Structure 1
Amino acid sequence: MKNIILFIFLTIYSFSVTAQKNNAADKLYKNFAYIDAAKLYKEALKKQDSSAYLLTRIGDCYYKNSNTKEALKWYALAADKYEDKNPKFIFNYIQTLRSVGNHELADEWLEQLKSYTPVDSLVLNTQFTNVKPKYDSKPALKLINLNSNTKYADFGGYEDSFGNFYYSSAVIKDTLFEKTKDKVYQWNEEPFLKIVTAEVTKSFDSINVGPFKSIPSDSINSITNHQGTLVISKDGRTLYFTGSNVKKNNVAVYDKAGTNNLKIYRANLVNGKWRNIKDLSINDKSFSTGHPALSPDEKILYFVSDRPGGFGHTDLYEVPINDDGTLGEVQNLGPKINTAGREMFPFMASDFTLYFSSDGYINNNFGLLDIYKTDLVQKAENFEASIINLGPGFNSGYDDFAFFTNDGEKTGYLSSNRPEGKGGDDIYAFFTEKCSQSIEGVVYDVLTNSRIVNAKVVLKDIEENEVATTVTNKEGKYIFEGVDCEKAFIITASKKRHQSDAKEIMTTNIFKDKNLVDLYLKPFDININPIYFDFDKSNIRPDAAAELDRVVAVMKEYPNMIIKIESHTDSRGKDSYNLSLSDRRAKSTRDYIESQGILANHIESAIGYGETQLVNRCGNELRKECSEEEHQQNRRSRFIIVNFETFED
């Protein structure tokens, strides 16, 4: 593990199995030089019989660096040497077994841990049976290793309420931090961790992080060497962040055990820069305090600490934030959530769901730190809290931590040192919501361009399998939501006594994109044809009378039918005369129909339109060029069914 912010919380979580503490390997181990210590322990194996202590120490060295495959090799050898296996050994052995996916053997060792006597604090971890496992990953979960990750440590992806992206990185570029020895941390020979910010571009299931830049502040880097996880108030004016404990001259402050502990600092945004950096009252040089998180109402600060009086190595705590910005009394979140292991990296969502990482729930984990969520804060004190492992994908056999989401787990970030990454710790963006879009539009009458109500619209895939069906609303609109991205579909609209319409569409790869598809239906003719008139006449010709008899027959077949009559002339003659002539034609048409027994209330209107609605080219300018047959087409009465949608009801 190369993330020093996380590592500091691990430094004292080790074995004390034997009295061999004065050799060179033990000294290296105590000073966290685990790789060098492992080499010396292996040299010792050549000079003496292998002991449980030496084998365990070598396993510990690899365990501390998250090399669980190598750690498992040595723990397995040590397991055969122990006569009385202690809880700490069993705990780490279980973690390494889970890390490599050997849950069956891990469960066997878990039973040994449960039965261990006398009861050890780690044994109590087995009592957390209220943790709900999620061994099925979200079907649409997609993880993306950010393009901003380096071969060093990058972790703690966070977005403020304005969408600005922040994270911690062991940055190495000259444009940000000088390449000098005092900018390099000697434990891992990597640059110090710094908070940086960058622009992020997202589509549904892709993300690009632009060039990073230093967080705007003239003093953060001079107050802390290392900077870790952070949280920013909703108004963007208050910053809480994790930093190492240093003196004014930028020299690290160590406790009696030689550990440079962590603190939480607060800063205010003044004229675009983070200023007024304060060391919070909850800090102390003798223990670490870090990983700040705010409640949605910003009245409580959550954090992690290894301070005395906790339930495990690191616990989750809360402290009220007073109106004047001072902090109240620190409270441990208690044994309902804190184990004898490590609880770290709290994050609280807008619905007060608390996310955190832990290695203590060994009944339900995948190895090392897993990400969990709980409704502990939402529940009353006397109710049992629900704690849920987020499952595979979110969790691996390695350290998974620094979870962030602002949309209910649909998208967000997590950090992990899983082996497929680019560096010691990497930031992953996650997408759990399946890419979906909508197909929507309006169904029109192709002749009148009016919107059609209650038209049936069917969505099919390209193989003609029906996906969904709906009907148009009172505005003629339809919508299909939750449609797959990048897929071909066929949309068909139909309605009684109309010719259907169908269109194909290929959806895009843009999350929640809207695909607009309008459809056009043509009404069927119901055997009601126009009638024609002689030039300058309004009387009903024999051929017209025969057609009107068919109109009457149709109206008697459908006694609820209501029509309107529109009559027209050709362009010969004056416009005003033609308007009067067409009106006489409309009235004579109406009178004939009524004379055949059709009630007057079934004819809504009979109106003449003169030469205003010609059906061909024969307007005033061309009337002398048109044939008699062309003029005849314009001398007509046509019939429109007013209640076309309902006359059969």
Structure 2
Amino acid sequence: MKTKILAFVIVLSSTFSFAQTKLADKFFENYGYVKAIELYEKAVEKGTNSAHVLTRLGDAYYNNSNSEKAAYWYEKALAEHKNIEAEYIYKYIQSLRSIGNYKEADVWFKKLSEAQNGDSRLKGYNPDEVDIFDKLTSKNDDLIVQIENLPFNTENSDFGSYMFNNTLYFASSSSSDSKVYNWNKEPFLDIFQLEVTDEDDGSQSYGASSKINADGINTDYHEASIAITNDGKTMYFTRDNTTKRNRLKYDKEGTTHLQIYKATLVNDQWTDVEELPFNDDLFSTGHPALSPDNKTLYFVSDRDGGLGQTDIYSVTINEDSTYGEPQNLGDDVNTEGREMFPFISDDNTFYFSSDGHLNLGLLDIFQSNILKDDATKAPINIGAPFNSGYDDFAYFINNETQKGYFSSNRPEGKGSDDIYSYSVTECRQQITGIAREKRTDIILSGVTVQLIDETGKILEEVTTAADGSYTFDVECGKTYTILGSKTDYVDDKGTITTTNENGKVNELDLSLRPLIMDNQIVINPIFFDFDKSNIRTDAEYELENIIDVLRKHPEMIIKIESHTDSRGRDNYNLKLSDRRAKSTRDYLLSRDISPERIESAIGFGETQLLNDCGNNSKCSEEEHQLNRRSYFYILDRDRK
């Protein structure tokens, strides 16, 4: 007998937990994460520890930006269940990083790499995606990127811009010298400079360009690609390998290689040019770039031992101005192809050009976190409009202004290589609206309005003003759900998909139905299965509105009345409605509502019909439905 009683208790507990999970799911799917969390955690207390419940708890906290709690439940799910979907591992990693637990995040990152080999989030792109090139060409659709072919470009090569103290340095073959480079029949490159002025309207104007003010930097041959130290006193630049008599120096095969030199600023003039010690007559060394702290010099070389045609290397700059041994950056950056034109921004992001990584054609510009303590070091193609089907290279960015320069030989330019300026602003739109009461159209202030993204994550929360208005500043090309809630009202929500039109205002009004009307708490009809009195999940979902009102008004006392239509025997309907009223009461009690707050729960059968659909009447289903109802009368008028 004890065994049977125990089994009965277990069955009841299991049934209760299952019902609560279904109800929690309904709240979760409607972005009611706080309520879902309460119900899921109640189910866990009752012994439910399914992967579904544990990961849903993780998701509910994750979407509410509570990373600590999210990590706790994801960890619990991963510990208790095998074959958890990789998506939850990824969210667990994100949660761990959010709370600063990088060591554990790295452990799970490795596990995710094994479980989800080829995940685009891990490698920056997925080569198996058939639309990868479409993604690269539309990569910056959510940004406003303004590109300008600069007025000082010439019909020859102009490239390799570098800004320092409002002076723009670049390489150009615009010299009028008669000597030309046999490769492209243009004059040899020299280093030029010009002043850049920031105008009040945000644009920039450019002064006249001239060869750099220097003693012995520009020669009869190529000079290009500079980097200047933070104190402005040292310049690194690329030059053809020449003799002391200013003649080209060739190797045994008749090739002239590039070398890196440095110059010192003395009395506002660059002088004291000297060759760096890791140059060689047998290979090229060029394209210098400095780390933000000026302790490391990066460069390009085709020296022996590399991975491809040209690789990017680093070398330490010692305090005594000597240099360490050059180090290849390895296959995180270098490929069998060409890696060129490194640049490191102030935030230590590494930029370079390559034709060996997935690209739109020829050289593309990439960014990498190789210099950061970041698990995702795979290069990322920065996409169009920076990249094209032609050579795109020599990227420079001012992180503070989000303005910069790059070079390209795309066909719409003025010359063989041109310098383009760019500015980046994020495409933004607004979602705005007015919250009103559904029944009277009265404006509602104090409504909590949440902005929710496509994954269900709550991004922002505001409260409607005195005029009932709310406004969100949002991204272009996204889908958002707007959820409005207020004490004693039923939530209302709507969906907006933004376009790629910058500055567009999207309107979405909210209409909240009051729960308290006169002396009743009014909810949508709660339905019962035919001839049954048990509370269904959809009924529980509605009854939670009653629970919310009672919790907000702890002194409120109610009574419950349940009614049926006229179909069936009068006495049977009376008993059925009474069972349903008491089932409704019992559900409220199961949600910790005190028994003394429910004065009565009585069924009235078909004794109080709202229309003329009595016995033997010919009424439609809709007319009969009008009579199947429950009332929740408020007895205590001092609702606090």
Q: TM-score, structure 1 length as denominator? A: 0.45
Tell me which structure has the larger Cα radius of gyration.
1
Q: TM-score, structure 2 length as denominator? A: 0.45
